[in-house]
Chains A and B, each alone.
Chain A
Amino acid sequence: MTMNPLDLTGKTVLITGASKGIGQATAIYLSRLGARIVAVARNRDRLDRTVSQLEGTGHSAQTFDLNEVEQIPAWMKTAAQVSGPLYGLVHSAGIVLNRPLRVLSPRDLTDMQRINVDAAVMLAKGFRQKGVREAAGGSIVFLSSVAAFKGKPALAGYSATKGALISLARVLALELVHDGVRVNCVCPGLVRTQMAAELGDFMAPEQLEKLCAEYPLGLGEPDDVAYAVAFLLAPTARWITGTALVADGGYSA
Chain B
Amino acid sequence: MTRDEFLIEMDAILDLPAGTLKGPEKLAELEQWNSMALLGFLALVDTNNGLRLSQRQVVLCSTVADLLSLATVEGVPE
Contacts and interface: CB of A to CB of B under 8 A. Distances in A.
Interface string A167-203: 0000000000000000000000000000000100111
Contacts of B12: 102
B43 A100 contact: yes
A103 B13 contact: yes
Most chain-A Cβ atoms within 10 A of its Cβ — which of B12, B39, B54, B56? B39
Contact of A98 (B13, B43, B44, B59): B43
A105 B47 contact: yes
Contacts of A98: 39, 42-43
A202 B39 contact: yes
A102 B16 CA distance: 12
Nearest to B36: A100
Contacts of B37: 100, 102
Nearest to A205: B56
Given A202-B54, A204-B59, A102 B47 contact: no
Contacts of B43: 97-100, 103, 108
B16 to A, nearest CB: 12
Interface in B16-36: 35-36
B40 A202 contact: no
A102 B52 contact: no
A219 interface: no
8 contacts: A98-B39, A98-B43, A100-B36, A102-B13, A103-B44, A153-B36, A202-B42, A202-B55
Interface of B: 12-13, 15, 35-37, 39-40, 42-44, 47, 52, 54-56, 59
Interface of A: 97-100, 102-103, 105, 107-108, 153-154, 198, 201-204, 207
The 4 closest A-B pairs by CB, nearest first: A201-B54, A103-B40, A100-B36, A103-B43
